[in-house]
A and B are shown apart, each in its own frame.
Chain A
Amino acid sequence: MDISLINSYNEQDSSCHRIDARAKFIFTLLFILCIILTPPDNWSAYIAYFITIISLISLARLPGRYVLKRSLIVMPFVLMLAIFIPFFKEGEIAGSYNIRSWNLTVTYDGIQVMTNLLIKAWLSMLGLIWLTSTTKTNDLFHALGRLHLPQVLVMILSFMYRYIFVIIDEMMRMKQARDSRNFGGGKLWQLRTIGNMIGTLFIRSYERSERVYAAMISRGFDGQTRTLDNLNFRRSDIFFIITLVIILAAINIVNLLVLN
Chain B
Amino acid sequence: MEEIIRINNLSFSYPDGRKVLENIFLSVQRNETIGLIGPNGAGKSTLLLHLNGILRTSAAVQVLGKEINKNNLRWIRARVGLVFQNPDDQLFSPTVFDDVAFGPINMGYSRTEVFQAVKHALKEVGMEEFEQRSPHHLSLGEKKRIAIATVLSMNPEILVFDEPTSNLDPRGRWSLIRLFQKLSATKVIATHDLELVQALCQRTIILNHGQIVADDTTTKILSDMQLLKNNGLAFEEIP
B96 to chain A, nearest CB (A): 11
Nearest B-chain residue to A217, judged by Cβ = B54
Contact partners of A162 in chain B: CB under 8 A: 91-94, 135-136
CB pair B74 A219 closer than 8 Å: no
Tell me if B82 counts as interface (CB < 8 A to partner A). Answer: yes
Contact partners of B115 in chain A: CB under 8 A: 228
Supposing A3-B137, A219-B106, A220-B74 touch, asked if A228 and B101 sit within 8 A by C-beta, the answer is yes
Complex: A162 Cα to B87 Cα, angstroms:
13
Contact partners of A224 in chain B: CB under 8 A: 106
A223 to chain B, nearest CB (A): 10
Supposing A138-B98, A219-B154, A227-B105 touch, asked if A211 and B89 sit within 8 A by C-beta, the answer is yes
Checking B105, B151, B154 against A228 with a beta-carbon cut-off of 8 angstroms, the contacting residue is B105
Contact partners of B89 in chain A: CB under 8 A: 208, 211-212, 214-215
Within 8 A of A (CB), among B144-166: 150-151, 154
A159 to chain B, nearest CB (A): 7
Complex: A227 Cα to B101 Cα, angstroms:
8
Contact partners of B95 in chain A: CB under 8 A: 138
A219 to chain B, nearest CB (A): 4
CB pair B150 A141 closer than 8 Å: no
CB pair A220 B107 closer than 8 Å: yes
Contact partners of A222 in chain B: CB under 8 A: 74, 106
Tell me if B52 counts as interface (CB < 8 A to partner A). Answer: yes
Checking A208, A212, A219 against B151 with a beta-carbon cut-off of 8 angstroms, the contacting residue is A219
Complex: A228 Cα to B116 Cα, angstroms:
13
Tell me if A137 counts as interface (CB < 8 A to partner B). Answer: yes
Checking B114, B134, B150 against A219 with a beta-carbon cut-off of 8 angstroms, the contacting residue is B150
Within 8 A of A (CB), among B70-88: 74, 77-78, 81-82, 84, 86, 88
Tell me if B111 counts as interface (CB < 8 A to partner A). Answer: yes
Interface residues on B, range: 35 or more
CB pair B98 A165 closer than 8 Å: no
**C-beta contact mask, A108-141 vs B, less than 8 Å → 1, else 0?**
0000000000000000000000000000011001
Supposing A138-B94, A166-B136, A215-B92 touch, asked if A226 and B105 sit within 8 A by C-beta, the answer is yes
Contact partners of A214 in chain B: CB under 8 A: 49, 54, 84, 89
Contact partners of B12 in chain A: CB under 8 A: none
**C-beta contact mask, A47-73 vs B, less than 8 Å → 1, else 0?**
000000000000000000000000000
CB pair B52 A218 closer than 8 Å: yes
Complex: A227 Cα to B135 Cα, angstroms:
17
Complex: A81 Cα to B105 Cα, angstroms:
46
Within 8 A of A (CB), among B4-60: 49, 52, 54
Contact partners of A161 in chain B: CB under 8 A: 94
Tell me if B231 counts as interface (CB < 8 A to partner A). Answer: no
Complex: A61 Cα to B43 Cα, angstroms:
56
CB pair B154 A220 closer than 8 Å: yes
Contact partners of A217 in chain B: CB under 8 A: 54, 77
Tell me if B211 counts as interface (CB < 8 A to partner A). Answer: no
**C-beta contact mask, A79-94 vs B, less than 8 Å → 1, else 0?**
0000000000000000
CB pair A221 B106 closer than 8 Å: yes
Tell me if A151 counts as interface (CB < 8 A to partner B). Answer: no
**C-beta contact mask, A183-225 vs B, less than 8 Å → 1, else 0?**
0000000000000000000000000100110111111111010
Contact partners of A3 in chain B: CB under 8 A: 134, 136-137
Most buried by B among A219, A221, A226: A219
Supposing A165-B136, A211-B86 touch, asked if A220 and B106 sit within 8 A by C-beta, the answer is yes
Supposing A162-B135, A219-B106, A222-B74 touch, asked if A137 and B49 sit within 8 A by C-beta, the answer is no
Minimum-distance CB pairs A-B, first 3: A220-B106, A219-B103, A211-B89
29 contacts between A and B (CB under 8 A): A3-B134, A3-B136, A138-B94, A138-B95, A138-B98, A158-B93, A159-B92, A162-B92, A162-B93, A162-B136, A163-B92, A166-B136, A208-B88, A211-B84, A211-B86, A214-B49, A217-B54, A218-B77, A219-B77, A219-B150, A220-B78, A220-B103, A220-B106, A220-B154, A221-B106, A222-B106, A227-B98, A228-B98, A228-B115
Q: Give B residues with C-beta under 8 Å from A.
A: 49, 52, 54, 74, 77-78, 81-82, 84, 86, 88-95, 98, 101-103, 105-107, 111, 114-115, 134-137, 150-151, 154
**A215-B92, A218-B54, A219-B77 known, 19 other contacts, Cβ within 8 Å:** A3-B136, A3-B137, A138-B94, A138-B98, A141-B94, A161-B94, A162-B94, A162-B135, A215-B82, A215-B90, A217-B77, A219-B102, A219-B103, A219-B154, A220-B74, A220-B103, A220-B107, A228-B101, A228-B105
